[in-house]
């Protein structure tokens, strides 16, 4: 388990350590709150907008906790943060939304009142983080946990203009992420017979079911312009049959659209384009069609996927629905 204990645990943490970064973000949050309090929202609108935008990067702080820190705590049996603190995050998000609505309505009195509530909630959250969440996390999590966590943190980002220094420091022994070597995390399921993906492990059956139940049509054409896959959904936008597998893609389209298909492939292969988008009316439905170039980590072209979706219902939506409605 972690070597850091006691009241000085944060001060002795190495630079870039995920827990130390949370504390540094709290310091930045308090600084921004102080600066916003010192200005007039109504007469210094530009300065307020700039500071408020920076403060709203607190969402990255929330997202790292929800998607990075909480799962590691769950691994050791501490599930309360995933339930209670996450709910408090959502409460603060609603309070922030109330501030924005008041500003849009040009009601600066209400905006100031709502903003004061946001400040109170953030201060309460930071106190809980610093006195309970992070001290407990430092006692529970291993050093390897923190190193793993830092790599995922980088994908989400931080509140700072400049990212924190690397952790562990480059001078330390290089750490190899589990997805890039034979090191395996202690997962609550066996990875035997599972396919290792960039993030996660799935059984072939699970992959097939995932693709089958996606609410979109997917067709994959490889780098040689051959159709190698399509998903078998129950209600496809465009019909497909097994005969298409192994067929050159230019023969899978009507003559009037072949030229566009070939142009897309040519531009994708040349690296000049990465996406093409169309929408059409088809049998009383509004269909959204997109093509995406597929490239490996070195940028080498590996084919194209066609994604088609009936968005008729989606286009008809308005307002919000936040409660489950199965009636």
Tell me which residue has tokens 């106190």.
127
Task: Delimit the domains of the chain by residue range.
Answer: 18-156, 204-316
Which region among 43-47, 220-224, 244-248 has the lowest average model confidence (pLDDT)? Answer: 244-248
Q: What is the pLDDT of residues 166-175, one digit of tens each?
A: 998 876 544 4
Predicted local distance difference test score (pLDDT) of residue 66: 93
Question: Among 149, 113, 115, 123, which Cα is nearest to 31's?
Answer: 123
As a whole-number percent, the residues of the chain with pLDDT over 70 amount to: 92
Residue 283's pLDDT band, with cuts at 50, 70 and 90, is confident
* CATH number of the 204-316 domain: 3.30.450.20
Q: pLDDT tens across 106-122, in order?
A: 999 999 999 999 999 99
Q: Which two tokens stand for residue 31?
A: 């600084």
For 92-146, give the DSSP string. HHHHHHHHHHHHHTT-HHHHHHHHHHHHHHHHHHHHHIIIIIHHHHHHHS-HHHH
Residue 323 in this model has a pLDDT that exceeds 50:
yes
| Amino acid 110: pLDDT | 94
Is the pLDDT score of 43 beyond 60?
yes
- Alpha carbon distances (Å) from 83 to 75, 79, 238: 14, 7, 42
Q: Which residues contact 138 (CB under 8 A, 6 or more apart)?
A: 2, 4, 5, 9, 19
Q: Is the pLDDT of residue 178 over 60?
A: no
Evaluate if residue 293 carries a pLDDT over 60.
yes
Q: What is the pTM of this model?
A: 0.64
Q: Which CATH superfamily is domain 18-156 in?
A: nmb1532 protein domain like (1.20.120.520)
Which of residues 236 and 130 earns the better pLDDT score? 130
Tokens of residue 88, six digits: 């408090």
What average pLDDT score do residues 18-36 get?
97
Q: How far apart are CA 129 and CA 139, in angstroms?
A: 14
Half-sphere exposure of 99 (CA within 13 A, CB side): 21
- Sign of the four-CA dihedral 129, 69, 177, 189: positive
More confident residue, 155 or 125: 125
* Adjacent-strand bridge partners of 224: none
**pLDDT reported for residue 172:** 52
């Amino acid at each position: 388990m972690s070597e850091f204990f006691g009241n000085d645990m944060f001060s002795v943490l190495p630079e870039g350590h995920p827990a130390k970064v949370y504390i540094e973000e709290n310091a930045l949050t308090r600084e921004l709150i102080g600066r916003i309090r010192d200005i007039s929202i109504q007469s210094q609108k530009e300065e307020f907008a700039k500071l408020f935008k920076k403060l709203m990067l607190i969402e990255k702080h929330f997202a790292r906790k929800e998607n990075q820190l909480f799962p590691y705590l769950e691994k050791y049996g501490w599930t309360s943060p995933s339930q209670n603190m996450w709910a408090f995050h959502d409460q603060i998000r609603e309070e922030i939304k109330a501030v924005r609505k008041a500003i849009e309505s040009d009601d600066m009195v209400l905006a100031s009142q709502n903003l004061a509530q946001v400040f109170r909630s953030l201060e309460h959250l930071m106190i809980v983080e610093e006195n309970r969440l992070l001290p407990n996390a430092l006692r529970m999590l291993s050093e390897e946990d923190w190193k793993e966590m830092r790599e995922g943190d980088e994908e989400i980002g931080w509140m700072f203009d400049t990212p924190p220094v690397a952790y562990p420091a480059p001078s330390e022994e290089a750490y190899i992420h589990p997805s890039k070597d034979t090191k395996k995390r202690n997962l609550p399921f066996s990875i035997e017979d599972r396919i290792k993906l960039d993030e996660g492990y799935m059984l072939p059956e699970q992959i097939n079911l995932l693709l089958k139940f996606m609410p979109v049509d997917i067709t994959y054409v490889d780098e040689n312009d051959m159709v190698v896959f399509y998903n078998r959904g129950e209600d496809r936008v465009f019909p497909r049959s097994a005969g298409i597998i192994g067929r050159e893609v230019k023969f899978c389209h009507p003559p009037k659209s072949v030229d566009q298909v070939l142009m897309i492939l040519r531009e994708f292969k040349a690296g000049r384009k990465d996406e093409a988008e169309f929408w059409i009316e088809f049998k009383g439905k509004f269909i959204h069609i997109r093509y995406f170039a597929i490239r490996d980590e070195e940028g080498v072209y590996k084919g194209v996927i066609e994604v088609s979706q009936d968005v008729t219902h989606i286009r008809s939506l308005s307002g919000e629905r936040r409660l489950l409605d199965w009636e």
